[in-house]
Structure 1
Amino acid sequence: MPIINTSQGVGGILNNFRSLVKGAEKITFVGTPGFCTPFAELLGFVVRDQKLAFVSSLDFEKARSVYMTYEGMQLGELTDAHADVVVLLGGLAMPKTGINPEKAKDVATKILEGSEKRKIIGVCFQSMFMQQKWDEVINFDYIINSDMAVEVLGF
């Protein structure tokens, strides 16, 4: 996959994400509980006027809405997971989850059933999808890959 854009920081992730999903009526995030949920909520904030859902651990039938509250984005009631865009979050590919890419691909295909726009986007850190070879199994349209530098300062 060729690099089509580079940027930095959280703003870079969010601005690129917003541009990739422009025109979608509904976006469904798929990720692990706890680790991926806040990333879905963060990404969802920049597209909060669109219909949003979160599927935890590939459990299609238990998709939850993602909606804006005074405190920020939150998970809500059960909702239909079908969407124009599916966003696979990198926590799924972490080896300790035991989730295989073939099952994730099946869930992504199910989410996109009936959509004419059909887009699969991966959002990961430290090349997780590429390291675990998910990009060889899933036909991503785009992957937003980011690295994080961490500094702990003591005073």
Structure 2
Amino acid sequence: MKAINTTQGIGGQLTEFRKLVEKSEKITFVGTAGFCTPFAELMAFVLRKSDKQMTFIPDLKFEEARSIISTSHGMQVGDSADPRADTVVLLGGLAMPKTGIEAGKMKEMTDRILDGSGRRLIIGICFQSIFQKMDWPDFIDFDYIIDADMTNQVLKI
């Protein structure tokens, strides 16, 4: 793996994501229910004016896929949707040890989502290199990983 670009903050992360999916037609985000859902909605927000179809799958629950739609409150999970897509975005919460999701099972999921697609793009979005720490690139053929670091500072005023 080699770094092809470095940016700062959420804006940089969103800009890089938008560039990577520029040619994508249908994007399926896969993440843990609750924890990753807002991250999928945030990533989808930068695509809200595009004609891209977007879907969210919680955990390994292919049958529970839901559309991601633009509303007056921002991007939100909507009705049931077909998760088959040309682009899969795996969110880092999946790789956290407490989820118990195995990389091999996620590989099967990505293959199922991408089945029949002429274009196959797999992007990982994570914090603190969780995909690399859990060796997911050994199982999943990521095209790109957007890896962010987060520093928190609590100030008493």
One-letter amino acid of the counterpart of residue 41, structure 1: E
Q: Which aligned pairs between 1:6-155 and structure 2 lie closer than 5 A? A: 6-48=6-48, 49=50, 50-155=52-157
- The 1-side partners of 2:46 and 2:85 are apart by 17
Residues 90-120 of structure 1 show CA distances to partners (whole Å, capped at 9, x for unaligned) of: 0000000000000001001100011111100
What secondary structure sits across from 1:76 in the alignment?
strand
Residues 115-137 of structure 1 show CA distances to partners (whole Å, capped at 9, x for unaligned) of: 11110000000000000110111
- The 1-side partners of 2:86 and 2:15 are apart by 19
Q: TM-score, normalised by structure 2?
A: 0.97
Q: Give 1:58 shift.
A: 1.2
Q: Give 1:142 shift.
A: 0.3
Consecutive unaligned residues of structure 2, counting only runs of 5 or more, are none
- The 1-side partners of 2:142 and 2:22 are apart by 17
What secondary structure sits across from 1:68 in the alignment?
strand
What secondary structure sits across from 1:129 in the alignment?
helix
Residues 43-98 of structure 1 show CA distances to partners (whole Å, capped at 9, x for unaligned) of: 00011221000000111111000010001000000000000100000000000000
Count how many residue pairs are aligned between Structure 1 and Structure 2.
Answer: 155
- The 1-side partners of 2:70 and 2:35 are apart by 20
Which aligned runs of 4 or more in structure 1 are off by greater than 6 angstroms?
A: none
RMSD: 0.6
- The 2-side partners of 1:113 and 1:137 are apart by 17
